């Protein structure tokens, strides 16, 4: 039997050489104030066991990891109709590219770039009676932690520096790919991104993607087995932006990153994983986090390939 506890405890030493080599997301001032040397990692296995190391129980801004949960909720309500408004191809460009959205005439390349996530947000605004509360309840029940909240400082920091996302939203609106007002979409989008969760929260909350869509704590499905497979596929091909090929090559797991330094990964049939370290590489993914996942896969031989 694999000793996950022992393997996790070996990872801080494995990633130590990469601390100090990245850069925090200082274009969102609230994220720039997070200590750079933070590192945490958590596993949540398909049979319900949890393992943690380092700062795995400290909350951080989940940022674009939220896109996994918004897409899952949108697919739960709207099914395949989601993909009438957003594609499923890797972007090959930065996650906030205006040029690509113009080239694609208002249809975002995939749900995990910012433009795609804005469309998914618009879908949810049509599906949820109380979008903020309903989304928060969804994440809380998935994680088993009723104390999850949004970080008001991060929310306002995002709003004060929202020019690129506002441009994307207005461009989507010009092509009639947003049904709600730009201000409504941006408000809900920044709310999602500003949720504060720990590695353990995220690992538990994403476990349904390792168990064919089954809710981790309830006798119900979050999504269907087919939908779970498709979300995992999109995480593999699109979840780390224009570094998805590097992640597939070196890590070999479906992953979704956020500029808060978190990365969630899944091993279908086995477990979900979350790693957090705030310093990012050039493509906006946690540099120590990527190397932690690489080391974990090498020690366990659990890559999906």
Residues recognised as catalytic = 64, 67, 189, 241, 259
Dist CA 207 CA 215 (whole Å): 8
Do 238 and 112 contact (CB within 8 A), yes or no? Answer: yes
User: Cβ of 10: how many Cβ atoms within 10 Å?
Assistant: 12
Distances in Å between the Cα of 86 and the Cα atoms of 81, 173, 297 are 9, 14, 32
Strands across the sheet with 255-257, in order? Answer: 50-54, 40-45, 271-276, 262-267, 255-257
Do 11 and 53 contact (CB within 8 A), yes or no? Answer: yes
Dist CA 81 CA 155 (whole Å): 29
Dist CA 175 CA 59 (whole Å): 38
**199 phi and psi, to 5 degrees?**
-55, -40
């Amino acid at each position: 039997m694999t000793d996950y506890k022992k393997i996790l405890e070996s990872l801080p030493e494995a990633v130590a050489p990469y601390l100090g080599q990245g850069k925090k997301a200082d274009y969102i001032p609230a994220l720039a104030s997070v200590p750079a040397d933070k590192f945490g990692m958590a596993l949540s296995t398909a049979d319900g066991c949890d393992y943690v190391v380092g700062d795995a129980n400290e909350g951080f801004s989940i940022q674009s990891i939220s896109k996994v949960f918004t897409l899952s909720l949108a697919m739960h309500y709207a099914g395949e109709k989601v993909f009438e408004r957003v594609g499923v191809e890797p972007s090959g460009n930065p996650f906030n590219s205006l040029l690509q959205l113009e080239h694609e005439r208002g249809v975002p390349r995939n749900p995990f770039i910012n433009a795609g996530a804005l469309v998914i947000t618009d879908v949810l605004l049509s599906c949820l009676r109380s979008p903020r509360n309903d989304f928060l309840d969804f994440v809380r029940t998935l994680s088993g932690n009723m104390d999850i909240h949004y970080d008001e400082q991060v929310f306002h920091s995002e709003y004060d520096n929202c020019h690129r996302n506002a441009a994307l939203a207005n461009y989507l609106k010009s092509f009639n790919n947003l049904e709600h007002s730009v201000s409504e979409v941006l408000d809900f989008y920044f709310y999602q991104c500003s949720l504060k969760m720990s590695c353990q929260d995220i690992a538990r909350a994403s476990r349904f993607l390792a168990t064919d869509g089954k809710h981790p704590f309830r006798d119900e499905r979050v999504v269907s087995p087919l939908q779970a497979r498709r979300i995992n596929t999109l995480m593999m091909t699109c979840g780390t932006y224009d570094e998805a090929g590097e992640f597939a090559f070196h890590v070999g797991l479906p992953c979704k990153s956020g500029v808060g330094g978190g990365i969630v990964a899944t091993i279908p049939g086995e477990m979900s994983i979350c790693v957090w370290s705030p310093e990012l590489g050039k493509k906006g993914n946690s540099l120590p986090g990527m190397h932690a996942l690489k080391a974990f896969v090498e020690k366990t031989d659990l890559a999906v390939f």
